[in-house]
Amino acid sequence: MRVATTRFGELELEEGKVIAMPDGMIGFSERRFIILNPENGGPFCWFQALDNPGLAFVVVDPVRFFPEYQVMLNREEIDKLQLEAGDTTVLLCVVTMAPDPRRITINLQGPIVVNPVAMIARQVVLEGNQATRQLLFAHREPAAAKTVQKAQPPLALSRVSSLCCGMGLAQASS
């Protein structure tokens, strides 16, 4: 399938890499996305809307920067993501870029959880005191990076060790 993007031009993508987001991202109506891994993008990927060439979110694996960060889903979220106990998930957080890398922020309050088998995702809003604009590269104590939300029954999310290997991400050239 061919997809037009404002950042990467026209891309040829496999249908199997399309992620359905039935509830969309908070504040947006788009429902189909793909994760793009640009060359030389470092830890950053793009969560690109397929039906809006200009809508793409910079995302990262939050555990790479906050090793103790965890997300617990409630039963409704587990069901909507079609997850079973022990399923592997991909956890992403939206990043706001800045010219000064010390000013780049990450939204730890509203992570995106992807079921890479069913290719379904949800943006969840965590209860608690997680920051929507946490400095990504700021010095922090390890205990400050932990997020836990109660779930019934508990289902802790794990992450795919490599997004590219785990989901066969589309490569994009800038």
Q: 73 by DSSP, 3-state: which?
A: coil
What is the DSSP code (8-state) at residue 166? Answer: H
H-only helix segments in the chain: 75-80, 163-167
Confidence of residue 141 (pLDDT cuts 50, 70, 90): low
Closest CA relative to residue 34, chosen from 67, 66, 65, 1? 1
Compute CA distances 169 → 17, 52, 84, 98, 162, whole Å.
Answer: 7, 19, 23, 25, 10
Name which of 29-33, 62-66, 158-162 the model is least confident about. Answer: 158-162
Cβ neighbours around 156 below 10 Å, total = 13
The CATH number fitting domain 2-160, selected from 3.50.50.60, 3.30.1360.170, 2.40.340.10, 2.30.290.10: 2.30.290.10
Please answer whether residues 30 and 24 qualify as being in contact, where contact means their C-beta atoms are separated by less than 8 angstroms. Answer: yes
Average pLDDT over residues 144-157: 38
| pLDDT score of 138 more than 80 | no
| pLDDT score of 144 more than 80 | no
Confidence of residue 156 (pLDDT cuts 50, 70, 90): very low
* Mean pLDDT for the chain overall: 83
Q: How far apart are CA 51 and CA 5, in angstroms?
A: 9
